[in-house]
Structure formats: structure tokens, C-alpha cells
Amino acid sequence: MKAFENYVMGQWMAGDGVEWTAADARTGVALGSVSSAGLDYAAVLAYGREKGGSALRKMTFPERGRMLKALALYLNERKEPYYAVSAATGATRVDSWIDIEGGIGNLFANASLRKEFPDLPYYVDGDPVRLSKNGTFVGHHLMVPRRGVAVHVNAFNFPVWGMLEKIAVNLLAGVPAVVKPSEYTSFLTEAVVRDIAASGILPEGALQLLVGKGVGVLDAVAEGDVVTFTGSNATGLRLKLQPHFVERGVPFNLEADSLNAMVLGPEATPQTPEFDLFVKEVVKEMTIKAGQKCTAVRRVLVPEEHLDAVQAALVQRLSTTSYGDPSKEGVRMGPLATALQVERVRSAAEALAEEMPAVFGNPAGAGTPVADHPEAGAYFAPVLFRNDRPFSALRAHEIEAFGPISTLMPYRSLDEAAALVALGKGSLVTSYVGANREHARDFTLEAATSNGRILVLDASSAKESTGHGSPMPLLTHGGPGRAGNGEEMGGKRGVLHYLHRVAIQGHPDAVQALTGRYIPGAARPEAHPHLFRQYFEDLRIGDTVTTEKHLVTLQDIEDFAELSGDKFYAHMDASALEGTIFTGRVAHGYFILSRAAGLFVDPPKGPVLLNYGIEYCRFTKPVYPGTTVGVRFTVQEKIDQEKRSPEDVAKGIVKFYVEVYDDQDDVVAVAVILTMVKKHTDA
């Protein structure tokens, strides 16, 4: 029998014996053996830290982002064979699309985050803090990659997405990963990792794979490592409570399956588009991946007066949903992942049936799947329960059947609906479907603390909405309580999870050398030649142009008011200033900024291509006619840019710190402007 292999310490190897026999969910036919027994997990993790970690930490954020983009493009070109392997997990084409292309999409999304990080191997967090009277002692925060490895213990339901959505974040942060997918479906993860390893896109040691049970791998974690777990709440808590995580200071992020809900707004009557959206979304969430999603809808909350109408609509739609072998024409729901999962779902469904009736299907999951040998596959028919006593019959809020099973229940007010959602003791997601914005706001604010995510769905967003079950890579994925009290992804927030924050203190010159940004109080050597005459590579942080000065006159104010149309009373009417902070007509702030540009700009054509924008601007002191102003124009930060095409100009973005001061040397305005500056080379 074929043995699926682990990818560890730079090589493919089978584990000892057989920990699990992977089988085709459609037919029950054995696919191969799975094991990671006998591996030296301490050596595997050490290899990741030393080999992969050292290579990743030398890369800048833009380099890591481009690496993720290259990997996404590479996998996207090779994705079709993954669909054939995915079918053996019981997935339909749509199910596989969510898993495979959703995972690749996570790589693309996280790759785009490189633009939000500096052109450094580490992150400069926030703004400098002045710690002394004269400004010679300042503080700042840096965030550096952890010197460990991210150990990802993933669930069986998304063998591709589960891996890619996690490693995209830690790799961008500069931390290597050891991925342990569920042994039930790790054969699909193995197929993808084989391509990743062959590509050479990731540094060696940046990604390792354990296809078996991985018993003991978490015993090998050490300070600097990060553990994430996706799966059942009970298993996750049992792992999280192991004392060595606390003793070694190892973060443990738990994202657990939860009793998610969908709420129909009171105004969404059977005649509204939202009613139809609700019914469609519930059935989709029951049948996509055969209900085997951590975000699947388990509780369906409906206004009491619409309960029968919703039940009838759900039953009608479920009755036309064909299930069975995804390769058969017309099949829209596949089998569960394994025969073991069938037994677990059946046991949970039978426990629910002791407290409430099934209004569609039966708790045993019996039905007529479209399959050549239905008795051999992991088939389970959809089941819809009805709970008319949701505050006293509590099993629907306590027992999750991880399959195509949901419970319909009534509510009488939005506060009551939020209270029912809270009985689930923490959910990854709840959806509110209704067009009334006030109702949506009231419910969302009441239910927010019970959820990690809330989808507000109505006809205006339906066309582009990704739906109830789709966490987005740039938003937090996780939830409170039963959902694990953790969070994954979350855009920039997710990346920071793998970085260590350290406070640095010292003279502005010393702090500037660490941050790669100009720090007020640091040396500002005069630039020669003018900064607008220098190419991107030549510009140095802190270099400054000190400009000539300009005498602000009343005529300046009159002319600028006429040109701009800004005739605000403080600029134009001296008799209207009583009770204000002004002692006379004051110059427009934007005139001061515009005149500053006139002072610091060197006009002839040169390396500066264009003004890219203003990031920050403050007017700190009134400027009256008769005041002389000058500008100190300083290189604050440089951000490299990629060429979008071979024809594109090689360039970077430069942030300039603009400080306008008066004849008393008081700062009257500050701004940070961005310019696009050409490079010497065309690389």
C-alpha cells in the first residue's frame, strides 16, 4: 500500500508503521497509509528555527511578500490536479474551489500586505516618544520576528486552505512553519506541499509537513515558538492547558468549531428579497462541504411569526438538493470526510433528536445518495431540526453535529435573538439577514461580544458578499468562548502575532539608526546637492534642505483667498475675531503649506517624478502678516517599489518631513509628504 510521506529536514520520508489508512470518502477504497511516528520532532522544530528561520529573518517584508506572491502564482498554475485529489475527501467542485483557490487567495491577500510594512526585516511600531526635556533621549518600539517556529495543527475539513491561510501570515512575519494537517485528509496537503518543495520559492526549512498524528510534536515546542490549533473545542482546550506552554511562554491560538447562528430580521417577511437570501444562505451553509465547516450555521433563528414559512422554504430547498458522489451529474453535496466522521455526526444528531423533532431528514442520516456503492461511502443526508423551546431545550446550544445539520428556532425580539445566540457560549460568526439598518445595528451591538465576526446581509450587498461561511484574510478570524478565544489572519494584526515587540531608548541619532526613519532631534546634515537632485539610492535619512525665508503679508492672505475661494472669517474679517484665539487676520494654513512647497521645491526636471500625497499635516501656531517663515525639509523614510512591468520606471517612495518655522524659531506647521523618486538603475 502506498505510504504518504512527511516533508521534514529537507527530505521526504515515511513514518513508522501505519497511524491511519486514508480512504476515498466516496467509495471507501484505501488510498494509502499515513504516519509520522518515529520522527525526531525536536530535531524537526530545531531545523525549522535554525535553517528556515535564519533565512526568513534576513529577508525584508517586501521580499517576503513577493515570495508569497510568487508562490501563489506558482500554485495557481498547478491547481487543477489538486481538484482530483480533493474529490477523494468528499468535496464537490465548489467545495474544492473554496479549499484550494481560497487558500491560494490567502497567499495573494497576505502578499499585498507587504506594502504596509517597511523595507526592513522588522517592523517599526508607532511613533517616537520624547522622554526628556531637551529631546536628547527618546523611545520607540520595534517588532522583530520570533526566533521560533509556528506549529500549525489543522482540521480535516480544509487540507489546503487551512495550511495556506496560516503559513501566509507567519512567513510574511519571517517565521518558519511546521504544519500538521489532520491525518484524515493530509494526502491532499501532501500533494500541495510536494509542489511547494519542488518550486524552490521558499527557503529550505521555511515549511515542513507532518502527515500523521504528530503525537509528541507539541512536547518539543520551546520559547519563541507559536502554536495554533484548529478543531474541536474539547481537544483544543486539552492541548492548550498543558503546563509546558505556560512554563516556556509559548502562545497557543485556539480556533474551535462553534455553534454559529443565522438570524432573520423581523422585517424580512416572506415577500422580501432578504427572506429568499436567508433561506438560500442557510441551505448553502448546511450543504457546502457537507456542513463540515467551523463556520457552518448550526442554529437558525427566525421571528416567531415566520417560523412555519421559513421551515417550509428550507424543506422545499433541501428536498431538491441532491447529495452523493460529487463526480455524478447534479450532485451538490458530497459525503463526509470519513466513515468515522459519519459515526460522530450520527451520535450527535441522535442526541439532538432526544430533545426536538427533525422536520427534514432523520437523525441517522439515512437517505438515497447518488452513488454507485452508497453503502461504502461516508454519506450522510441533511437533517433540519425544529426547537420550539430554545430557552429550555438547550441541546441545540450545546451539541454540535459537525455535518449537514441545523436547528430552526423562534425568537420574539432582537434582544431575545441576541440572548439565544449567546447561549452558544461563543461563536465564530453570526449572520443577520434583513434590510432595516436600525435593526441590524441594534442586533449587532447586542450580539457582538458573543461573536468573532458578524455578517450583515441584505439585497444591497448580496451580489458581492462572500457569505456567512467565508472568513476573509484581511479581517480577524476567531471568536470568544467556545470558539477558542483566539484569532487568526486579520491582515496586519495577524502578522504582528508572530513578531516580538521591544522598546528601544536612546539619543534620537541612535534610535534613527535602528528604525530607518528620521526621529525629531536627530542630526539633520545639510543636503548637497539639493534633495530634489538626488536619486532614490542616494538619499540618506536625516539629510535636510534649509530653505530661504518668506515674509507673509496681508496681500498674500488676500490673494490666496481669492485664488482658493477660502474666505473663512478668521482670514478675512478682523472685526469678527472677538472671542476667538486669534489677535488679527491669520494666514491660511494651506497657504503656509503651499508657500513651504514653493520654498523647498527645486523646479528643474530631475529624479523626483511626482508628489504622491500628504500623509500627515498639522498647523501648530497662527501665522500673522509680518511673520517670516522658513522650512526645514528632511528625508524621513524611504520605501522601495517594485516595477509593475518591464517598461515601468524603477523608483521608490520617499517620505519627507516638512517643518515650517517662524522668526522666533517656533514650529508653525508640520507635514509628511510623499514623493515618487526615480532610481539610478532600471532594475
- Cα dist. 178→2, 3, 59, 147, 164 in Å? 23, 20, 19, 14, 12
How far is 224 from 148, CA to CA, in rounded Å? 4
- Active-site residue among 165, 190, 285, 294? 294
| Among candidate residues 406, 104, 96, 439, the one with its CA nearest the CA of residue 261 | 406
Q: Determine the Cα angle at 202 with ends 196 and 207, to 5°.
A: 70
Q: Give the alpha-carbon dihedral of 567, 573, 578, 581, to 10 degrees.
A: 50
**380's grid cell:** 450522510
Q: Is the dihedral of CA 491, 494, 495, 501 positive or negative?
A: positive
| Contact yes or no for 285/468 (Cβ under 8 A) | yes
Residue 526: DSSP 8-state: B
**245's grid cell:** 506552554
Q: Where are the beta strands (DSSP E) in 146-201?
A: 150-153, 177-180
What residues form DSSP beta bridges with 141? 125, 503
How far is 298 from 404, CA to CA, in rounded Å? 9
Beta strands 405-411 and 383-386 are: parallel
Q: Determine the Cα angle at 504 with ends 499 and 506, to 5°.
A: 160
Q: Please report how many Cα atoms fall inside a 13 Å half-sphere around the Cα of residue 512, on the Cβ side.
A: 21
Look at residue 140 and give its three-state secondary structure: strand
**204's grid cell:** 529550505
Q: Please report how many Cα atoms fall inside a 13 Å half-sphere around the Cα of residue 598, on the Cβ side.
A: 9
294 is catalytic: yes
Q: Please report how many Cα atoms fall inside a 13 Å half-sphere around the Cα of residue 676, on the Cβ side.
A: 12
Q: Give the alpha-carbon dihedral of 209, 210, 215, 217, to 10 degrees.
A: -20
How far is 323 from 93, CA to CA, in rounded Å? 13
What residues form DSSP beta bridges with 483? none
How far is 242 from 302, CA to CA, in rounded Å? 41
Q: For the beta carbon of residue 18, count every other beta carbon within 10 angstroms.
A: 15
- What DSSP assignment string belongs to 61-72? HHHHHHHHHHHH
- Active-site residue among 5, 183, 255, 637? 255
How far is 245 from 578, CA to CA, in rounded Å? 65
Q: For the beta carbon of residue 249, count every other beta carbon within 10 angstroms.
A: 10
**193's grid cell:** 506541499
Which residues are marked as active site?
255, 294
